[in-house]
Amino acid sequence: MRQKPWLRGKLVSSGAMPLLAALALAHPVSAQGVASLPPMVVHADGQKFKISGILVDRNGDQLRVREGDVATHTVLLTNDTKISTPSGLFKMDRKRRDASNLLPGLMLQVEGRGGQNGALVADEIHFSTRSMKVAQQINVGGEVVRSQVYANTDSIEAVKRRLTDSLSHVNARVTNLDNFEERYSTVVNFPTDSWSLTDGAKGVLSDMVNRTAGFKGYYIEVKGYADTTGTAEYNLQLSQRRAEAVVRYLTENKDVPLRRILNPTGFGQSTAIAANSNEMGKAMNRRATVRVLVTKGQQK
């Protein structure tokens, strides 16, 4: 039988034939004319795989990666998954990254083995710094641009509400928080125009980790905020860095597994908890909130 052009150069095992048949018959467009995801791949248990594609969404330690128009893969993170970007003069070295950089829209490469449930258990995940910045712009920066456009016709308060709602949707794409309940929450504050954790903030986070030790099926949600000093766009970036600073401390200093961290999100100067008209209120608004969420039905 003559080989189809799109299969030339690929090694096809007999076990892969049902999958290839499904790919060949799959229709790329839904009935409404909106492009749908390609068929889902089932990975053979223990078999090595290497894929490249775009991160569609993330649900805790589970990713969905689209490989062009050919296939969709379920990728699982573990404590041993190595996440990195090229670094150095000739890009020969690797810089460690954490799971908080795994945002929808990220172009990445995954190496791993098939798991018992048909997912691809990731040993290594690589992506470029440029792709990481693009994904960050998609998830955060794009909301700033849209809010500036709407500002021509809307009131400032309406823009703030839309910005907050949009960023909430970004976080909701990563995990369905309806399946979790809050077990612990805390707040850390930052100096003006800074995302460095103070000794006091580190103490608060350390206490949180000690109090929640032993929790099962948990995730940690981190949100960053800023006061009104500076422009709204700058404050959005500053709040994102504050959220990421909390994640770095938890993962690098307190050994919290990367896969337990939800997508840290900066909300800029929105959702103030105190008046920005005085220094005391501004100090309260320069913060990051941290919540420990446990899967419903799980016991400590």
Distance CA 120, CA 42 (A): 8
| Residue 3 falls inside a structural domain | no
Which 8-state DSSP code applies to residue 123?
E
- Answer whether residue 56 shows pLDDT above 80: yes
Strand, coil or helix: 93: strand
Single residue among 98, 127, 156 that ends a domain in this structure = 127
DSSP code per residue over 66-78: EETTTEEEEEE--
**What is residue 137's predicted lDDT score, i.e. its pLDDT?**
67
- Average pLDDT (111-134) is 89
Mean pLDDT of the residues in the chain: 77
Decide: pTM greater than 0.85: no
- Answer whether residue 145 shows pLDDT above 90: no
Enter the tokens of residue 131. 């792709």
Strand partners, 294: 181, 218
What would the pLDDT profile of 60-113 be if each residue is shown by its tens digit?
Answer: 888 999 988 888 999 999 989 999 998 776 666 788 888 888 988 889 999 999
Do residues 74 and 42 share a domain?
Answer: yes
As a whole number of Å, the CA-based R_g of the chain is 21
C-alpha closest to that of 262 among 226, 299, 216, 294: 294
Distance CA 249, CA 183 (A): 20
Q: Where residue 16 sits, what CATH number does that domain have?
A: 2.40.50.140
- Answer whether residue 3 shows pLDDT above 50: no
**What is residue 86's predicted lDDT score, i.e. its pLDDT?**
86
| Residue 133 falls inside a structural domain | no
Which strand ranges, in their side-by-side order, compose the sheet holding 287-295?
180-189, 287-295, 218-224, 265-266
Do residues 167 and 116 share a domain?
Answer: no
How many separate domains does the chain show? 2
Helix, strand, coil percentages for the chain (3-state, nearest 5) = 35, 25, 35
Enter the tokens of residue 55. 């991160």
Residues written for the chain: 300
Assign 157 a pLDDT band (cuts: 50, 70, 90): low
| Residue 139 falls inside a structural domain | no
Distance CA 187, CA 196 (A): 14
- Average pLDDT (112-126) is 91
Distance CA 93, CA 105 (A): 24
> Which domain, by its residues, includes 113?
12-127
Do residues 255 and 202 share a domain?
Answer: yes
Distance CA 9, CA 226 (A): 53
Q: Where residue 149 sits, what CATH number does that domain have?
A: 3.30.1330.60
C-alpha closest to that of 300 among 220, 217, 221: 217
Share of the chain above pLDDT 70, in %: 71
Q: What are phi and psi of 4, to 5 degrees?
A: -70, 145
**What is residue 5's predicted lDDT score, i.e. its pLDDT?**
38
What would the pLDDT profile of 235-277 be if each residue is shown by its tens digit?
Answer: 999 999 999 999 999 999 999 988 888 878 899 998 899 999 9
